Structure 1
Amino acid sequence: MELPLVVGVDGSDSSLLAVDWAVDEAARHRLPLRLVYASLWERYEGAQPSFSTDRPAEKVMAQHIIASCVERARLRNPEVKTSGEVLPDDAVSVLLRAGPEAFALVTGSRGRGEMAGLLLGSVSLAVAARAACPVIVVRDAERNRRGASDRIVVGVGDPSGGEGAVRFAVREAEVRGCALTAIRAWRSPSHEPVDHMLIADDAARLREERASTSLDDALREVMREHPQVDVSRQPVEGPAHHVLLEASVQADLIVVGAVRRHGHFGLQLGRTAHALLHHSECPVAVVPQPV
């Protein structure tokens, strides 16, 4: 049985954009779409006796939101098998429990009731940092959401956290029929002695060559399995978060890896993933390394 694409919804504009993006993604991969709304109305309702025959307002709202989102998804693409349910817990817990049985988790960048000035909602960040499956945060630059760039970008970093990200990115490029750009950032240390310009140039060239070799190593096996994907390798000088944020401007999706922390629950997002989740111009996929 194919795992569903799971979307957390709450009725906010951001979550509606996530629903639209997820419908298209489910259609590309031919996956079922599961929409979930987290509600604690049962907990509050059970804490005190009710003397009214009316349904709790929170329950009515929850059912209305999930029904509206399911209808929205079906109108966007009737061929995508869509289901929706209200689950009695907080949003982070609901999505994390869904993760092991999901192709990926999809969220908007900000939730209902969160301050408009926030760059990223607390639910999206918590889920991206702890989920067992890929998490896609749909940021709201309309041109990038609709796939106008015809390009996927993957950041290739530490090999311990990069294999899953590379495989996810290659698969995305394949189903979309678009190009893939694999980027490895490299830097010359600021404290490196520069007694002679030629020596400095040689040191920079060596670091660039190492970055290029890392790209080749990361892509070699997966490209043997997907030779039809058009891949460009780009070793780029600069801090990884700056390099990838710049690349996100002309991307439909940017993919980064995350590594598990020994002795801790969850993932190590790192500076680059945090920067992309808060500032990327396109949707961001955070992919944990295979267990």
Structure 2
Amino acid sequence: MTGPVVVGIDGSPAGTTAAWWAAREAATRGRPLLLLHSWSTQPLDVPVARETLGKQRNGGRLLQRAETELRSRYPGLTLTTELTSTPAAEALLDLGGLAELLVLGSRGHGSTASFLLGSTSLYVLGRARCPAVVVRAGDPAVEDGSGRPAAADRGEVVVGVKETGPASEPLLEFAFTAADSRGARVRAVRALRPFGTAAPMHAMAAGHAYSRHEAEEHARLTAALAPWREKFPQVPVVEQVAAGPATAVLLYAAEHSELTVLGRERHPSHLTWKLGPVTHAALHHMPCPVAVVPHD
């Protein structure tokens, strides 16, 4: 894709953190950045005037401040702003048709590493035509405008590989491209369903069967990664095949991740949107920004 990186801002800390992440991403990718603000969609904790004109003026000032701050950090960045009365979710989805990436903010939840996703974020993540990234306020994996650097122990892009066929290709392309631009390594993770408990006399046979199954799945993962290793020979790769619930396996793998990449099936009807249970659960608990990539 060759479109812009689009980020929605609303004056909240989460929106500010998302804007800083999006600016760095746009600069790294060599793409333009578009700051979007919907004056008809305001967070509850941001005071705005009741009158329409007051909301528009407030939105304009918000965009101007964000633009000034981001230009000071990234002087070579091509940056534009858009003020709209269209509800935020619809505006983001409209722009997502031409964007390379959508970026959304999410409020941090308590002292744990988890997301508090609102209806706008879930709606956009479930329907966006391009990859969408959720960044939470105060994320330790994100360098923001306050001068706080990103955590030094984050050097991986984790990608969850549910299937090793064509459905995995958009996720792997996104993960390898992101890792290449960051000088990070890719950790490709595949979770296996644990075998049921076997009777004692069959325990050894079950163990051999599971070892064979694990080896086969590892071989499939290696084969899926082969073309991307060839395309990105400078990107180190770690393969991880583990038994257990997919969400738990992904959370453990993402301990040192600066970005986690998950998938979402496309849906034929524009009226249908849904995140899979693993993606939905991981979005609420990942210790880093999460990219949701649509695939067929």
- Name the TM-score, length of structure 1 as normaliser: 0.86
Match of 2:33 in 1: 33
Give me the whole-angstrom Cα distance separating, in 1, the residues matched to 2:272 and 2:233. Answer: 33
1:100-158 per-position Cα deviation (integer Å, ceiling 9, x unaligned): 111100010149xxxxx972122111111100000000124543222631111101112
CA contact (8 A) 1:258 1:267 kept: no
1:194 is displaced (CA, Å) by: 5.8
Alignment map for 1:54-69 (pairs within 5 Å): 56-69=53-66
1:38 is displaced (CA, Å) by: 1.3
Corresponding letter in the other structure for 1:190: G
1:163-210 per-position Cα deviation (integer Å, ceiling 9, x unaligned): 111110001111111111101111224366664221121122122113
CA contact (8 A) 1:260 1:266 kept: no
1:33-82 per-position Cα deviation (integer Å, ceiling 9, x unaligned): 100011339xxxxxxxxxxxx97211111111111221221122112111
CA contact (8 A) 2:257 2:288 kept: yes
CA contact (8 A) 1:139 1:281 kept: no
Match of 1:182 in 2: 188
Give me the whole-angstrom Cα distance separating, in 2, the residues matched to 1:209 and 1:264. Answer: 40
Identify which of 232, 237, 248 aligns with 1:231.
237
Report the RMSD for the aligned CA atoms in angstroms.
2.3
Alignment map for 1:94-173 (pairs within 5 Å): 94-110=91-107, 119-140=116-137, 142-145=139-142, 146=150, 148=152, 149-158=154-163, 159=165, 161-173=167-179
Match of 1:50 in 2: none
| Structure 1: gaps spanning 5 or more residues | 42-53, 112-116
CA contact (8 A) 1:151 1:173 kept: yes
Match of 2:12 in 1: 12
CA contact (8 A) 2:115 2:286 kept: no
The answer to which of 195-204 and 260-269 deviates more is 260-269
Give me the whole-angstrom Cα distance separating, in 1, the residues matched to 2:74 and 2:270. Answer: 40
CA contact (8 A) 1:4 1:34 kept: yes
The answer to which of 28-37 and 192-201 deviates more is 192-201
1:266 is displaced (CA, Å) by: 5.1
Corresponding letter in the other structure for 1:286: V
Corresponding letter in the other structure for 1:201: G
Identify which of 204, 216, 221 aligns with 1:215.
221
| Structure 2: gaps spanning 5 or more residues | 42-50, 109-113, 143-149
Alignment CA distance shift 1:104-1:118 (3 Å):
closer
Alignment CA distance shift 1:79-1:188 (3 Å):
same
Give me the whole-angstrom Cα distance separating, in 1, the residues matched to 2:166 and 2:264. Answer: 9
Give me the whole-angstrom Cα distance separating, in 2, the residues matched to 1:123 and 1:89. Answer: 13
Give me the whole-angstrom Cα distance separating, in 2, the residues matched to 1:25 and 1:223. Answer: 22
The percentage of aligned residue pairs carrying the same residue is 36
Give me the whole-angstrom Cα distance separating, in 2, the residues matched to 1:22 and 1:225. Answer: 25
Alignment CA distance shift 1:23-1:263 (3 Å):
closer
Give me the whole-angstrom Cα distance separating, in 1, the residues matched to 2:166 and 2:29. Answer: 27
Q: Alignment length, in residue pairs?
A: 273
1:227 is displaced (CA, Å) by: 1.6
